[in-house]
Amino acid sequence: MLNQLTIKEARERLDSGQITAAALTMACLEKIKQADGQIKACLLVDEVGAVKAAELADRRLAAGQRGGLLGIPYLAKDNILTKGLRTTAGSAMLASYIAPTDATVIVKLKAAGAVLLGKTNLDEFAHGASTEFSAFGPTHNPWDLQRVPGGSSGGSAAAVAANFCLFALGTDTGGSIRHPAGFCGVVGLKPTYGLASRFGLVAMTSSTDVPGPLTKTVEDAALVLAVIAGHDELDRTTVKRAEDDYGRAMNLESIKDLKIGLPKEYFSAGLDKSVVQKIKAAAAQLEKLGAKLVEVSLPSTKYGVSVYYIITPCEISSNLARFDGVRYGHQAEAINLAEHYALSRAEGFGPETKRRIMLGTFALSAGYYDAYYLQAQKVRSLIIADFDNAFSQVDLLLTPTTPHTAFKFGEKAQDPLAMYLEDLFLTPSSLAGLPAISIPAGLIGNLPIGLQLIGPKFSEPLILGVGEKLQIKI
């Protein structure tokens, strides 16, 4: 089945003329038709556009062009703008919104000849860790349809796990690529903040938002990163730096010199024994290759979730002020302007998004700003300092992605705190802007569990190189 290929495998076959981009695209579209009725990963499938893009890719191949993502079919999370195609961000607010422009990552993928198949489901405005907060209904985990795929990029992770596409784009603000990658048994890479452009993402938390790939293998994540990374005049927080060789295979000699940190706060008492066992097995594997394991401490880890759930609602309340029923999205029928604003927002936003807007507005208001927002920013610097300190002793950190495997629908949706604690191991690296990857670490029962590698800023080549040595087929 062509849709089951990795990017690397498809690349070889496309370049040697063994298969066409059109056939590869059709295989993906057929798989979506056959299985998405149950999984519900896609909010939109653009069959006509995909077939056209595949034909163009085949003409480029026929003209001798090769390599990269030429002719590779993918899906994009629906908070990434696509010109002429609906972008909902999983919200009733944007149920019929059509963006006038493509996000920079989409522009880059188009130029590379990748084939956009459609858009994937997410928690409303990427607020969540289960995809249950989508206004269009939840996505189901392909490993067990009674369970959530994680979130907020749950549609993208489920789509890759179900072989709907060869890769998918997600966004990660506090774990939204890594969390569902862990729950669905795929690879999810959150690049360093500022490595890939945020232009054209529906903004959530501008100080931590990053787009990144969800793939079947670590090598594939490197191939996608190579296309989407780079400075963008339209996002002045992207950095200007020489291109890295992400696909470079790590030679075994260099693993011998590596020090891998195991942060003790990420292996605390409450953690499931079977999860610890999987991560320790990965650590042992690295040790066998010659790396040195070192226990490190990141003492401010315990503040990660609290700090994140002050700072992100503050930025959300500011970023979502633009949805006023006038310029974008849902417009209520109202008798005057004040009511128009109020009703449009009341009708357009779901409960979790409203909760975050209210929390953020409160934390930023006069009299509370110092006690909450400013204080949270100070503790954020402690979290950053913890990582700086750790990376003066070790090259990379190895942790679990999540404390457990995928949970059942409804288990946490009514309890915001339980849902927020899903991000325990994910928010600190987001607050510090560091790159991190989730890789399948094996199965517990019949469900996948992920391991996470976190590195210093711009250490993607190292993370990918070591990740490649750790990946196992599940």
Active site members: 77, 152, 176
The tokens for 408 are: 């059942």
Say which residue the tokens 């496309």 belong to: 14
Toward ligand GLN, which CB reaches closer, 26 or 449? 449
Q: Does residue 204 interact with ligand GLN by CB under 6 A? A: yes
x/- mask, ligand GLN, residues 399-438, rule CB under 6 A, reads: ------------------------x---------------
Kindly tell me which of 175 and 435 has the beta carbon lying closer to ligand GLN.
175
Quick one: 110 or 404, whose CB is closer to ligand GLN?
A: 404
Nearest distance in Å: CB 355, ligand GLN? 11
Q: How far is the CB of 400 from ligand GLN (least distance, A)?
A: 16
126 binds ligand GLN (CB under 6 A): yes
DSSP per-residue letters across 17-86: TSS-HHHHHHHHHHHHHHHHHHH--EEEE-HHHHHHHHHHHHHHHHTT--STTTT-EEEEETTB-BTTBB
Token output for 127:
């607020």
**Minimum CB separation from ligand GLN for residue 419, in Å?**
7
Using CB under 6 A, count the residues that bind ligand GLN: 13
Instruction: State yes or no: residue 85 binds ligand GLN (CB under 6 A).
Output: no
Q: How far is the CB of 175 from ligand GLN (least distance, A)?
A: 5
Site residues for ligand GLN, 140-179, by CB under 6 A, read 152, 172-176
Spatial contact of 349 and 357, defined as CB atoms under 8 Å apart: yes
Question: Residue 396 — φ and ψ, nearest 5°?
Answer: -145, 160
Closer residue to ligand GLN, CB minimum distance, 133 or 246: 133
Angle at 415 between CA 432 and CA 42, to 5 degrees: 75
**Nearer residue to ligand GLN within complex by CB, 154 or 448:** 154
Q: Which residues of 129-165 are buried (b: 16+ CB within 10 A; e: fewer)?
A: bbbbbbbbebbbbbbbeebbbbbbbbbbbbbbbbbbb
- 454 half-sphere exposure, CB direction, 13 A CA radius: 29
Q: Are 87 and 105 in contact (CB under 8 A)?
A: no
Contact positions toward ligand GLN, by CB under 6 A?
126-129, 152, 172-176, 204, 312, 423
